[in-house]
Every structure is written in structure tokens, then in C-alpha cells.
């Protein structure tokens, strides 16, 4: 079926729609040649009874009037820098006006004011919840609309000069109403959806699963783009860190109402991680737009999988808007033991998996037996050989302590230190690019490890975690090791982390400690910790990962959307 094919109609099986994957020379759509901007997977029949077509929106479940804060045991890397956003004068449009907003509480590294000063980030749920989603229509009616009677007013002819200027002013206003074209480079899937694949969402009531990372190439939020296109977004769903990306790592966030759009936000990182039937009542499609970090230990993929599970239960189609893997398509590290699946590791993939979030969704559907109609809208112009800073897209930190591409490159290895009593630099100037402890003999460890490393330079540093949030050496200056990438193609972050762990454990046997349960979750099972405790050679440990990696590659190839 071509790009103008029918949408995923209720009452029949999903169509498989999308551009052909072109052998050898690459994906036709990625090269900018015709074709729809999506790749769909068939799923169950999508049946909706006639009475359900007209079913009133279900009232939202009652939640606390203020955000409930409780630190959880499982978390991804941690929170996120979003750009400061200012609402435009046109309905629903926002633009990026600034970045680098400092934290109110350095421990959380949150954005103190991610929106324009006149607007709060979000309102907690109050009496509006009792009205359910019908309240949206009530609020629209209260503001007036095209059918509201106009008041008669006496008009006064404008002066002659003003009459002459009016056409010029009208042209200027019209010009500003047209969005500027995106910069050259990779095109996010939100643009492909609105250009080529509107039939997936047009005329449907949309639930949007996203956060601050869901922006287009100009930094405009996806919810604003969808609403500006006349699409019916009726509910928002947020992962860890909340819809605006300001919650601390592991912080449970209650459902609320978004102050910018007035839409309900259902938290999927609070008392529940899976959408309930009441949250999904009245929706016709779920759209997922989340930026993954490129490493196995990250919770946005788990949220996507839980959304797919819930959608399968309700016979709802899921559309995933793809985003680049920020560290490219290389595959490194050990493969998770399926027996060790958790919310920070839901799939049997390597530490550095090399997949986009759309490809991960396809893998989850195939390997977890999710009976859901899934469509993935692919990126345009992206190659798995590209890192984020080669895409031309604005960098939005996926979470507050992953503040740079450099941090993302190291994260696949340094995150393992979260499962030890060393700091990973939370609360410092460079989280996840350095590790340290007051007792660390950095010079000795570097001397022992450096000769075996490729693509990375180790430097002795001192840093002070300020309110780090993980209770590791708060406000204490520690000796540390800074990792600096010198050759991305040669650098292996997980292998480097294993060598550092072995050297630190050997040098500081009396001081070094595992946080065993957490380390095993991150490491995909207890095997890595057991091997290091047994004194196995780090090179042998890494070499032992090869068979599982070789077995993973054809599994990954089955879901690839971009030529490798």
C-alpha cells in the first residue's frame, strides 16, 4: 500500500504500510525518495463496537492534589535538561528560547523554571478531574469559538496611512504564521508523521506518550505540532522524570494536568507503570515519542513496552515516532540474561544495543509476544553510523544527568558503577564521565588500566558531589578518574568499565563494595559480578560475551529500519 493508503481502520486487521527497504543502497525513505514516513507491523483485529464509537470520555481517576515524591529502587541514568520553552502567540505552538536552566535543588538537577515565567510547569490534579476529559470541551466553549454569536460593534474607518499599511502588515503576519523549514540534517519522525502518515492518527482521539525530549528539528514540542495540525490529542502519558522532564531520577510522580495545554497527564512512573483501562478509555490510538539513551539500562523502553501491553489488552494501535540512537548503531557489552529482566532491563539486549526506540519496540513485539498493532514512523536521513552531534538536531538531555553526547558515550559503561560504592559524578560538573571515592588511588588505577585501553584517555581529577541524590559522598571532595573519548570508533565503554572495576577492586579490596542487587540488575544478571569476584581476567570476561553478541545480531537485523 502506498503513502495514501487507508488508516488503521477499527474493525479490521492493521495494514502493513511503508517504504520498501532497499538492499545495499539503503532505505528509500531515508534517502529522501518518496514513500510514506512509516513502517507498520500487522497486529490483532482492531474492533470497536458501535456503542463504543459514541462512548463518553471516562472520568480520570482521582489522584493526589500534589505530586507524590518517593524515591524508587529502579531508575535509569537519571533526570534531564530540557530547553526553556515559551508559548507562542499562535495556538499551541512553542519555541525554544533558552537553555541551561539551573536547578532549584542541585540534588535533583531539575529545571527551576522550564517554562515562561508567567506559567507554572504543571498543575496538580484538582477538581477538574471530576469532570474527566469532557472538561476540555467545556473549557473550549468557555473561551468561545466559531459558533459563538459576535457582538455588534461600530467600526471606524482607519486613517489613510493605516489603510495603505494594512496589506503590508497582513503579508508580514501571514509570513510569520508559516513555520520555518527544519534545518538540514536528520528529520525526526514527528515531521514524517505530519507529512506522509497522517492517516495513522487523523480523526482519532490520541493519547501521547512523551516528555521534554519529544521535539522537532526546531525544538517545538510534539504536542504543539500535533494540535496545530488539527489532531485530537486528548491525554498525555509521561515516563520517568515527568512530561516536562523535571522530576528527579527514581522520583515517583503523580498524575496531573499540564498547565501549558490543559491536558491530563497520566504518570507511568508512579504508583503504576502500565496504563489502566480507565486511562485508555475513549482513546483510539497511542502515539509514543521518547528519546532513548542508547544503553540497556534506561526506563523509557520499559515504558514503551508497558504501553504496548496495555494497548494490546484494549485492542488499540500504537504508533512509535522514531528517534536516533544518540551513540549510533554499534553493539557492545554483555547480553542480559532473560531471567534477570527488570524495569531497567526489560529486553535481552547488550549494554550498548545499537537500536533506535522504534526498533526496540519492534523487537519487544516480536520477542515478548505482544499482540498489538504497531506502526513505527522512521527517521529521515539518519544513519546508524551517526552520533547525535552529527545529526543536526538540537540536543535535549534525555535525563538531567546525561547532559552531553560525551556522557551518553560513556554511559553504557560508567552506569555500572551505580551498583558500587563509587560515585558516578552525580551532583558534579560531569556526571557519568567520571567515577570516584575519597579512598581511590586514581594514579595507581590509571597506571594499571591505561595500557590496555583504546579510544579513551583517563585523567586523575577531584570533584565534589553536591547533593547528588544517591547519598554517595555528598559535599565531600573525592579523588576521581575522568574518562575522555579520543576515538569513538575504537572506544568500548562496557569493556573499559570492566577493566576499571577489576583494577579498583584489586587495589582497594578493603574499601570497595558492591551494591549487589542493583549491580546485578544493571549487569543483566549476577555473572559479571561473580567473574570479577573470582578474579577473572577482564579481557577473558569481555571475550566471553562474544557468542551472545553474535546471537543477538541476527535478532537485531530482523527489526532494523536503517541499513547497517
List, for residues 115-162, the tens digit of each pLDDT value: 222 233 344 433 333 334 433 444 333 333 333 333 333 233 344 444
Pick 436 or 20 by higher pLDDT: 436
At 87, list the grid cell.
Answer: 508559548
Residue 9 three-state SS: coil
Please, which pLDDT band fits residue 350 given cuts at 50, 70 and 90?
very high
What whole-number distance in Å separates Cα of residue 351 and Cα of residue 327? 12
User: Count H helices, E strands: the chain?
Assistant: 15, 16
At 563, is the pLDDT very low, low, confident or very high (cuts 50, 70, 90)?
very high
The mean pLDDT value for 202-222 works out to 97
HSE (side-chain half, CA atoms, 13 Å) at 498:
27
Other beta carbons within 10 Å of 397:
24
Q: Which cell numbers in the block locate residue 171? A: 503579508
Query: What's the confidence (pLDDT) of residue 358?
Result: 99
Residue 441, pLDDT > 90, answer yes
Q: Which of 10-19, 31-40, 249-258, 376-385 has maximum average pLDDT? A: 376-385
Task: Choose the weakest-confidence range: 40-49, 288-297, 330-339, 545-554.
Answer: 40-49
Rg of the chain in Å (alpha carbons): 25
Rounded distance between C-alpha atoms, residue 362 and residue 320, angstroms: 10
Q: Which of 498, 500, 548 is nearest to 528 (CA)?
A: 498
pLDDT band at 81 (very low <50, low <70, confident <90, very high): very low
The whole-angstrom separation of Cα 532 and Cα 38 is: 45
What's the confidence (pLDDT) of residue 468? 84
Distances (CA, A) of 311 to 144, 277, 456: 35, 9, 43
Per-residue pLDDT of 302-323, as tens digits, reads 999 999 999 999 999 999 999 9
Q: What pLDDT does 250 receive?
A: 78
More confident residue, 523 or 4: 523
pLDDT computed for residue 178 by the predictor: 40
Quote the strand ranges of 324-406, DSSP E.
332-335, 350-352, 374-377
pLDDT for the residue 183: 52
Domains of the chain and any CATH numbers: 66-135+184-324+354-390 (3.40.50.12170), 405-533 (3.90.1150.140)
Sheet holding 318-321, edge to edge: 39-41, 374-377, 318-321, 285-289, 205-210, 232-238, 264-267, 256-258, 122-124
Write down the pLDDT at residue 249.
78
Query: pLDDT higher for 402 or 69?
Result: 402
pLDDT of residue 345: 97
Average pLDDT estimate for 94-122: 30
Residue 449 scores a pLDDT above 70: yes
Euclidean distance between CA atoms 547 and 492, whole angstroms:
17
Distance CA 250, CA 77 (A): 9
C-alpha cell, 357 = 526506540
Phi, psi angle pair for 384, to nearest 5°: -60, -10
Range in 63-72, 161-170, 274-283, 299-308 with the lowest mean pLDDT: 63-72
Q: Count of CB atoms within 10 A of residue 161's CB?
A: 8
Helix (H, G, I), strand (E, B) or coil at 359: helix
**pLDDT mean across residues, the chain:** 77
Q: Cα 32 to chain center, whole Å?
A: 25
- Nearest one of 379, 401, 400, 397 to 389, comparing CA atoms: 397
| H or E segment and range at residue 95 | strand 94-98
SS3 335: strand
Which residue from 278, 281, 320 is spatially nearest to 301, judged by alpha carbons? 320
Asked whether the predicted pLDDT for residue 255 surpasses 50, the reply is yes
| 8-state DSSP, 286 | E
Question: What is the share, in percent, of the chain residues with pLDDT greater than 70?
Answer: 67
- Greater model confidence, 205 or 36: 205
Range in 106-110, 204-208, 270-274 the model is least confident about? 106-110
- Cβ burial 94-112 (10 Å sphere, 16+ → b, else e): bbbeeeebebeebbbbbbe
Please tell me whether the overall predicted TM-score, pTM, comes out greater than 0.85 for this model: no
- CA distances to 250, 297, 540, 542 from 545, in Å: 30, 17, 9, 5
Helix, strand or coil, per DSSP, at residue 161: helix
Q: Which of 369, 370, 318, 351 has its CA nearest to residue 494?
A: 351
For 462, the 3-state DSSP assignment is: strand
Q: What is the pLDDT of residue 130?
A: 36
Amino acid at each position: 500500500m502506498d503513502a495514501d493508503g487507508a488508516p488503521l481502520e477499527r474493525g479490521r486487521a492493521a495494514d502493513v504500510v511503508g517504504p520498501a527497504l532497499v538492499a545495499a543502497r539503503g532505505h528509500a525513505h531515508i534517502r529522501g525518495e518518496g514513500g510514506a514516513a512509516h513502517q507498520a507491523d500487522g497486529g490483532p483485529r482492531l474492533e470497536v463496537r458501535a456503542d463504543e464509537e459514541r462512548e463518553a470520555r471516562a472520568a480520570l481517576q482521582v489522584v493526589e492534589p500534589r505530586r507524590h515524591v518517593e524515591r524508587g529502587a529502579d531508575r535509569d541514568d537519571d533526570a534531564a535538561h530540557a530547553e526553556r520553552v515559551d508559548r507562542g502567540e499562535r495556538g499551541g505552538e512553542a519555541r525554544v528560547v533558552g537553555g541551561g536552566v539551573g536547578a532549584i535543588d542541585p540534588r535533583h538537577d531539575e529545571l527551576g523554571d522550564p517554562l515562561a515565567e508567567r506559567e507554572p510547569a504543571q498543575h496538580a490534579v484538582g477538581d477538574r478531574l471530576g469532570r474527566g476529559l469532557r472538561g476540555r470541551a467545556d473549557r473550549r466553549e468557555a473561551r468561545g469559538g466559531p459558533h459563538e454569536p459576535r457582538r455588534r460593534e461600530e467600526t471606524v474607518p482607519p486613517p489613510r496611512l493605516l489603510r495603505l499599511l494594512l496589506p503590508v502588515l497582513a503579508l508580514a503576519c501571514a509570513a510569520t504564521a508559516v513555520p520555518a523549514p527544519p534545518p538540514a540534517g536528520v528529520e525526526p519522525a514527528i515531521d514524517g508523521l505530519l507529512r506522509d502518515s497522517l492517516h495513522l492518527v487523523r480523526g482519532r482521539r490520541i493519547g501521547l506518550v512523551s516528555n521534554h525530549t519529544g521535539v522537532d528539528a526546531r525544538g517545538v514540542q510534539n504536542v504543539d505540532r500535533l494540535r496545530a495540525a488539527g489532531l485530537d490529542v486528548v491525554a498525555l502519558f509521561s515516563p520517568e522524570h515527568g512530561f516536562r522532564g523535571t522530576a528527579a531520577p527514581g522520583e515517583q510522580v503523580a498524575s496531573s494536568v499540564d498547565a501549558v495545554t490543559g491536558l491530563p497527564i497520566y504518570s507511568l512512573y508512579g504508583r503504576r507503570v502500565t496504563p489502566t483501562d480507565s486511562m485508555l478509555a475513549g482513546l483510539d490510538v497511542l502515539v509514543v515519542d521518547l528519546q532513548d539513551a542508547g544503553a540497556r539500562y534506561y526506563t523509557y523502553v520499559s515504558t514503551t513496552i508497558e504501553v504496548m501491553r496495555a494497548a494490546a489488552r484494549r485492542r488499540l494501535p500504537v504508533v512509535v515516532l522514531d528517534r536516533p540512537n544518540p551513540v549510533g548503531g554499534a553493539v557492545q557489552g554483555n547480553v542480559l540474561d532473560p531471567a534477570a529482566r527488570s524495569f531497567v532491563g526489560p529486553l535481552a539486549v547488550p549494554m550498548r544495543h545499537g537500536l533506535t526506540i522504534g526498533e526496540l519496540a519492534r523487537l519487544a513485539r516480536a520477542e515478548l509476544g505482544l499482540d498489538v498493532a504497531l506502526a513505527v514512523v522512521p527517521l529521515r536521513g539518519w544513519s546508524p553510523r551517526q552520533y547525535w552531534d552529527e545529526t543536526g538536531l538540537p540536543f535535549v538531555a534525555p535525563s538531567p544527568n546525561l547532559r552531553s553526547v560525551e556522557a551518553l558515550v560513556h554511559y553504557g559503561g560508567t552506569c555500572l558503577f551505580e551498583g558500587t560504592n563509587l560515585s558516578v559524578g552525580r551532583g558534579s560538573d560531569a556526571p557519568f564521565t567520571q567515577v570516584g571515592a575519597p579512598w581511590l588511588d586514581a594514579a595507581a588505577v590509571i597506571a594499571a588500566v591505561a595500557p590496555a585501553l583504546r579510544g579513551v584517555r583517563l585523567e586523575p581529577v577531584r570533584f565534589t558531589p553536591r547533593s547528588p541524590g544517591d547519598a554517595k559522598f555528598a559535599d565531600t571532595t573525592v579523588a576521581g578518574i575522568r574518562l575522555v573519548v579520543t576515538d569513538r570508533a575504537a572506544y568500548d565503554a562496557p569493556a573499559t568499565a570492566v577493566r576499571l572495576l577489576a583494577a579498583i577492586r584489586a587495589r582497594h579490596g578493603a574499601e570497595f563494595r558492591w551494591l549487589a542487587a542493583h549491580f546485578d540488575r544493571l549487569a543483566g544478571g549476577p555473572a559479571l559480578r561473580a567473574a570479577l569476584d573470582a578474579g577473572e581476567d577482564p579481557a577473558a570476561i569481555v571475550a566471553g560475551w562474544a557468542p551472545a553478541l553474535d546471537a543477538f545480531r541476527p535478532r537485531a537485523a530482523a527489526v532494523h529500519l536503517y541499513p547497517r
